[in-house]
Amino acid sequence: MSSLVLVTGGTKGIGLGIAEAFARAGANVVLNGFGEALQIEKTRSELAQRTNAMVVYSPADMSKPKAIEGMIRQTVDMFGSVDIMVNNAGIVRDRMIVNMSVDEWDAVMKVHLRGMFCPVRHAIDHWRAMSKAGTPVDARVVTTSSGAGLFGSVSQANYSAAKAGIAAFTIVGAAELGRY
């Protein structure tokens, strides 16, 4: 059985490139992201044709725990497992701090941080249940960050802080979750 890779932010840009690389390597892929439905369906269909992989689209909001829980459950029902969780979803709301609104700050934090934590949290529940049932788990979490998270970027205080948070979460997550 081939691996199942769930890619958040997987309907365009870097996320779509990541999804295609996994599909070309033989994985089945669940694309998650937002956009115009017809364009996403065209993207999904073309990716499946180019790679001969099973490619499914899920529009679940990564910041909503119930939506993620449902997506993980549906993915497990369809494919048997989630083997790799790639957290790539992101947005920018470029603005100098003096001009940035709380809503612009919150939107970036919601997509980058909450939208990374929620899917990882629910994937971990799945993997822990497998482990406790005696099923070997060979799973991975991949997170994407940015140089802005390490060095900062003018007019991107919100984005830079979120990307730094992703880097810190990844370090802690690796230490906590390696045993699963």
pLDDT tens per residue, range 150-170: 999 999 999 999 999 999 999
User: What is the average pLDDT across 37-59?
Assistant: 94
pLDDT at 1: 47
27 close to 49: Cβ distance less than 8 angstroms: no
Task: Give catalytic residue positions.
Answer: 146, 159, 163
Where in 24-165 does DSSP place strands (E)? Answer: 28-32, 55-58, 84-87, 140-143
Cα separation, 17 vs 12, in Å, equals 8
Of the two residues 18 and 178, the one the predictor is more confident about is: 18
User: What is the average pLDDT across 122-145?
Assistant: 94
Give the strand order in the sheet containing 55-58.
55-58, 28-32, 4-8, 84-87, 140-143
116 close to 89: Cβ distance less than 8 angstroms: yes
pLDDT at 146 over 90: yes
* Crossing angle (nearest 10°) for helices 115-132 and 65-79: 50
The highest-confidence range among 57-61, 78-82, 96-100, by mean pLDDT, is 96-100
167 close to 114: Cβ distance less than 8 angstroms: no
User: What is the average pLDDT across 54-82?
Assistant: 93
* CB atoms near residue 6 (< 10 Å): 28
Q: Which residue has the tokens 């996403």?
A: 40
The highest-confidence range among 57-61, 70-74, 92-96, by mean pLDDT, is 92-96
Q: How confident is the model at residue 78 (pLDDT cuts 50, 70, 90)?
A: very high
